[in-house]
């Protein structure tokens, strides 16, 4: 019987008076407790669940390696403001194991397991923080990106996300539905806050450091305590006395309250800032006529006084707008304000202001595009082993091309993979890395028996894809040599799908591929 079934009615002859509780409500509660114990908790293999959770808490070389790699990927994704890379780090991170282990160890009163889980968590966290700090210290990019800033102001909503995610994760672990953990790992985001802690440490930015550390601790404690409560609900036995159990429950409630107070205060501050921004926009707009438009308003609430930088598009310049605005905003916000107001005169009428606003937005977009192109150029030059001036960039058609130098140990697969990886980061651009001329081409393996005899193996198909890519990039002709006639024709047909027409040459039993040069022409 699953958890969704209603509890069975009390056995015949059972009355509220015969149940060791008084009143109808107590009888219903007792009936539900009986049903939960017999139909739900009895179906949980507690020994198997505990054994699996213990395995996830070992301080093994695998655990430390994956934690380090996850931290490295996370900090790079944060520095590049790449959500996809950050999500990859979340999926790779093994920190959920020891945190859940803390909860289950608390539930059953196994303090040896509790110490092991805490040790694994501390070792992994310290390793990730210092590796991230080292990467940031050595990196030329040390700016607070949007991805970093979003993890420095935890609030009550972050606590609720961690709570609901932990409920789902603990349920999945207890009921054997481990696939849910992938979603929980993304939702709770344990590794990115640790990476931001490393960033704050490397840059000596204690505001970033403290905010990210609070977010990580919030997630950690919420997940561990929620896992403990869920394990208790599902009947995991404890060696503690009833009094000790009640003390644990009281501590859990107090910890949640202690976390909720600063996070709730943070949420209130964010709400005040949002309302303050609305008031600032309204007051600045009132300084000008109805045909004016606010193009940009940037507010830094952390400075003293509050820094406000605004741009207005208006058909009539107001000489004392900045001083009036400063006095009005100081009065409305109840704190000192440093206002910088830039006015641009545009044609009369609302349409002229809107057109100027669109032009300003388009100019900002073009500037961002130029920054992206510069980053793309540097990245292509780096992987190709050339200087930035050797990268050909066609901004009108969104194309970038570079001829790579022969790098030690680099194969066609290396250049192909680099091109694919860079192109994925700029999906609106056509990126091409031309491999060094005359590079070795891979051999093609075929099935030797079975129903697929004469067809390329998986490795053979990958090799053909690399050959097709190299032929397209270089513009040279390739020749298939060796193998049976049928194998050569099969490989040629696969290459033809990529608009590559190879020459076919008889040879040995193993099919090889080579470039066709003038010297090798028949």
Q: What is the average pLDDT across 143-168?
A: 80
Is residue 127 predicted with pLDDT exceeding 90? yes
Of the chain, the percentage scoring pLDDT greater than 90 comes to 8
**3-state helix/strand/coil string of 224-236:** HHHHHHHHHHCCC
Is residue 1 predicted with pLDDT exceeding 60? no
Task: Kindly report which listed range (19-28, 32-41, 268-277, 449-458) carries the lowest average pLDDT score.
Answer: 19-28
DSSP-derived pairing of the beta strands 399-403 and 392-394: antiparallel
pLDDT value of position 246? 63
User: Average pLDDT, whole number, for the chain?
Assistant: 78
* Closest-CA residue to 189 (of 232, 145, 154): 154
Q: What is the average pLDDT across 413-417?
A: 81
Is residue 112 predicted with pLDDT exceeding 50? yes
Task: Kindly report which listed range (100-104, 176-180, 250-254, 315-319) carries the lowest average pLDDT score.
Answer: 176-180
The partner residues of 298 in beta bridges, in order of sequence, read 309
Q: In Å, what is the CA distance from 268 to each residue of 156, 188, 445, 510, 513?
A: 9, 22, 64, 71, 67
Taking the CB of residue 464, how many other CB atoms lie within 10 A of it? Answer: 25
In tens, the pLDDT along 263-289 reads 677 667 767 777 888 888 888 888 887
pLDDT value of position 224? 85
pLDDT value of position 239? 56
* Closest-CA residue to 105 (of 114, 116, 118): 114
Range with the largest mean pLDDT of 10-14, 106-110, 156-160, 512-516:
512-516
Contacts of 235 (CB under 8 A, 6+ apart): 37, 41, 42, 44, 46
The partner residues of 341 in beta bridges, in order of sequence, read 310
Q: What is the average pLDDT across 339-366?
A: 62
pLDDT value of position 344? 76
pLDDT value of position 198? 93
Is residue 519 predicted with pLDDT exceeding 50? no
Of the chain, the percentage scoring pLDDT greater than 70 comes to 81
Distance (Å, rounded) from C-alpha 275 to C-alpha 231? 42
The residue whose two tokens read 């109805």 is 290
Is residue 376 predicted with pLDDT exceeding 80? no
- Which is higher by pLDDT, 462 or 186? 462
Q: What is the average pLDDT across 444-465?
A: 86
User: Is residue 393 helix, strand or coil?
Assistant: strand
- Cα 505-409-418 angle, rounded to 5 deg: 85
Residue 249 in contact with residue 228, Cβ under 8 Å?
no
- Which is higher by pLDDT, 182 or 44? 44
Is residue 178 predicted with pLDDT exceeding 70? no
Q: What is the average pLDDT across 344-354?
A: 59
Confidence of residue 520 (pLDDT cuts 50, 70, 90): very low
* Closest-CA residue to 453 (of 481, 490, 497): 490
User: Is residue 102 helix, strand or coil?
Assistant: helix
pLDDT value of position 381? 81
Confidence of residue 6 (pLDDT cuts 50, 70, 90): very low
The partner residues of 310 in beta bridges, in order of sequence, read 297, 341
* Closest-CA residue to 96 (of 61, 124, 73): 124
Strand arrangement of the beta sheet that strand 293-300 belongs to = 293-300, 306-314, 337-345
Residue 173 in contact with residue 181, Cβ under 8 Å?
yes
Confidence of residue 419 (pLDDT cuts 50, 70, 90): confident
Is residue 8 predicted with pLDDT exceeding 60? no
Distance (Å, rounded) from C-alpha 404 to C-alpha 386? 7
DSSP 126-163: HHHHHHHHHHHHH-S-----HHHHTTS---HHHHHHHH
Range with the largest mean pLDDT of 133-142, 285-294, 337-346, 388-397:
133-142
In tens, the pLDDT along 457-469 reads 888 888 898 888 8
Q: What is the average pLDDT across 240-248?
A: 58
Is residue 353 predicted with pLDDT exceeding 60? no
Q: What is the average pLDDT across 10-28?
A: 54
pLDDT value of position 134? 94
pLDDT value of position 343? 78
Q: What is the average pLDDT across 45-59?
A: 83
pLDDT value of position 132? 93
Question: What pTM was estimated for this model as a whole?
Answer: 0.52
Confidence of residue 202 (pLDDT cuts 50, 70, 90): very high
Residue 298 in contact with residue 327, Cβ under 8 Å?
no
With residue 297 as reference, give the H or E element that holds it. strand 293-300
In tens, the pLDDT along 144-153 reads 887 888 788 7
In tens, the pLDDT along 470-515 reads 888 888 888 999 888 888 899 899 999 888 899 998 888 888 888 8
Distance (Å, rounded) from C-alpha 381 to C-alpha 387? 5
pLDDT value of position 123? 93
Contacts of 161 (CB under 8 A, 6+ apart): 187, 188
Is residue 69 predicted with pLDDT exceeding 90? yes
The partner residues of 434 in beta bridges, in order of sequence, read 403
């Amino acid at each position: 019987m699953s958890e969704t079934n209603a509890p069975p009615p009390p056995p015949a002859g059972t009355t509220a008076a015969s149940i060791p509780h008084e009143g109808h409500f107590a009888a219903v509660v007792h009936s539900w407790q009986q049903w939960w114990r017999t139909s739900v908790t009895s179906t949980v293999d507690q020994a198997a669940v505990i054994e699996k959770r213990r395995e996830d808490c070992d301080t093994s070389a695998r655990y430390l390696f994956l934690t380090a790699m996850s931290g490295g990927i996370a900090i790079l994704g944060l520095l590049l403001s790449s959500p996809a890379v950050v999500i990859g780090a979340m999926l790779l991170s093994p920190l959920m194991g020891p945190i859940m282990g803390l909860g289950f160890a608390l539930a059953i009163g196994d303090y040896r397991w509790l110490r092991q889980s805490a040790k694994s968590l501390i070792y992994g966290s310290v390793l990730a923080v210092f590796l991230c700090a080292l990467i940031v210290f050595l990196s030329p990019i040390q700016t607070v990106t949007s991805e970093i800033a979003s993890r420095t102001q935890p609030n009550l909503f972050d606590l609720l996300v961690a709570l609901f995610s932990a409920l789902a994760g603990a349920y999945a672990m207890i009921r054997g539905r481990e696939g849910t953990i992938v979603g929980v790992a993304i939702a709770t985001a344990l590794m990115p806050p640790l990476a931001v802690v490393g960033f704050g440490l490397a840059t000596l930015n204690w505001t970033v450091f403290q905010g990210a550390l609070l977010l990580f601790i919030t997630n950690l404690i919420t997940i561990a305590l929620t896992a403990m409560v869920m394990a208790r609900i599902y009947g995991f036995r404890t060696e503690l006395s009833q009094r000790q159990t009640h003390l644990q429950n009281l501590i859990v409630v107090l910890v949640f309250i202690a976390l909720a107070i600063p996070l709730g205060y943070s949420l209130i501050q964010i709400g005040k800032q949002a309302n303050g921004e609305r008031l600032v926009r309204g007051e600045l707009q009132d300084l000008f006529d109805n045909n004016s438009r606010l193009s940009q308003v940037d507010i830094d609430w952390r400075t003293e006084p509050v820094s406000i930088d605004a741009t207005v598009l208006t058909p009539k310049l107001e000489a004392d707008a900045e001083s009036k605005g400063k006095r009005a905003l100081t009065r409305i916000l109840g704190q000192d304000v440093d206002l910088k107001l830039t006015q641009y005169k545009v044609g009369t009428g609302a349409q002229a202001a809107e057109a100027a606003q669109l032009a300003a937005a388009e100019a900002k977009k073009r500037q961002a595009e130029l920054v992206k192109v510069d980053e793309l150029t540097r990245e292509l030059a780096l992987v190709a082993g050339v200087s930035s001036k050797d990268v050909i960039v066609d901004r009108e058609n969104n194309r970038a091309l570079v001829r790579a130098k022969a790098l030690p140990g680099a194969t066609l697969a290396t250049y192909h993979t680099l091109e694919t990886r860079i192109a994925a980061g700029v999906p609106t651009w056509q990126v091409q890395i031309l491999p060094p001329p005359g590079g070795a081409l891979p051999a093609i393996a075929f099935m030797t028996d079975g129903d697929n005899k004469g067809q390329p193996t998986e490795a053979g198909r990958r090799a053909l894809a690399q050959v097709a890519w190299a032929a397209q990039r270089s513009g040279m002709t390739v020749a298939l040599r060796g193998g049976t006639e049928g194998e050569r024709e099969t490989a040629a047909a696969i290459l033809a799908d990529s608009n590559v027409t190879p020459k076919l040459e008889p040879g040995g039993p193993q099919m090889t591929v080579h470039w066709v040069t003038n010297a090798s022409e028949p």
